[in-house]
Structure 1
Amino acid sequence: MERILSRQEASEAVQDHGWRYMLGGLHTSVPVGTLAQAISLAADAVAVCGDDADRHLHVDARPDLAVFTLQSSDHAAVTTRDVELARRISATAEESGLLPEPGLGTGAPRSVQVMEIAIDALDISGIRPFWKAVLGYADEAGAEGPEDPLVDPLRQGPAIWFQPMDRPRPQRNRIHIDVSVPHDEAPRRVEAALAAGGRLVSATRAPAFWVLADLEGNEACVTTWQGRDG
């Protein structure tokens, strides 16, 4: 019977099969040589997922890369079924002579990641309609409240979430990017950002997130599933 997995369970179940758990989903990328090869691999993945493909699988096929995401649309979470499908897709890729690359590999500029944009606000319900309209975004599935996140209905842009403020902060940026990366890649990403001229604002919540800033104080967070409740 399909069961929702904890973050720890989901991560451990697929890590040895070339997948990583991030933001409620399983993710992997497979380097390919042509768009035709990417589409062929995507078709194979749909075939091995069978009737579950429409409710679990998302594919982004490109000339040099096929990116796969698994999440149960019924539960908006990773389940035991997603893990089984991830293993099937990995086996199919390997049969085609291709290998999933969740981490940095030959020819890969980086691993899989998921981006979100966070907007700090005193009145979230007051500003949320503006961002929904100007971006052409929609309510997150199952979440239609006045302070809930917004998502791109075409899955092209990052999700938007809103962080409450208790007082105005006119001298500090109030929009920042959250970069969710595989837990085993996060330290390397933080080191690279610091080596590129960034500074560490806070690591008190690491490994859930590190707060970094550029030379002018604009912030970004590198985040993982680790160190969070649940």
Structure 2
Amino acid sequence: VMFDTKGSLHAGRKDIEADSRLYRKWELCQATNPNRVATEAEALKGADVLIALSTPGPDTVKREWVRSMAPKSIVFCCANPVPEIWPYAAKEEGAFIVATGRGDFPNQVNNSVCFPGILKGALAVRARKITDGMAIRCAHSLADFAKKRGITPDNIVATMSETEVFAMEAADVAMQAIAEGVARVEATWQEVYDKAMADIAASRNLTKDMMAMGYIKEPPQELLQQMLEEAVAEVR
């Protein structure tokens, strides 16, 4: 069951059917929710998974909704800067795996762990465009990396500090671009991977040296706190 700002998607949503710009959403209306479940509470009762990318919380997703889900439920609350429900609250209500869009909580599910690899892979083979297939291949690469190094309930996805993931994504995306015929130049998986790892190392070493020499300073903690408070205030 899927929801937009006006309610659940189903074949009775004439407002979506009437707007030709929303043809993709109308396809989803016809393919999902045959019973026309109307409310979030009803949809989540006994559900295994919730994926929310909606209005910042922390009360967008109610505690009782999570409590009503199936045992060992999975809850992705990816709104920024405040997730739809705080991770600790979702855990208290029975969620087994909880992810957010923020890096200061476990399991950051954010485009920041994908777009560097997609862009690097596209540039490596001078791709004419970035296709859906390339983006999906990056997602599979991210999942493969996590499975290879092992996952736990609080560590299901690579973090931005695990720089090898970006090189793997770049190589996989580049190979997908070649397979789809949108690459202008040929390269092997290993060539793209090695070049990406070398570029990442060079950039990190340069930044480290510039910080050590005082050219790049650590931002004051009070400034970071102020920026967070201002961002939260903007969405409330």
TM norm structure 2:
0.23
Higher RCO (Cα < 8 Å, 6 or more apart):
1
Structure with the higher fraction of residues in strand conformation: 1
Structure with the higher fraction of residues in helix conformation: 2
TM norm structure 1:
0.24
Name the larger-Rg structure.
2
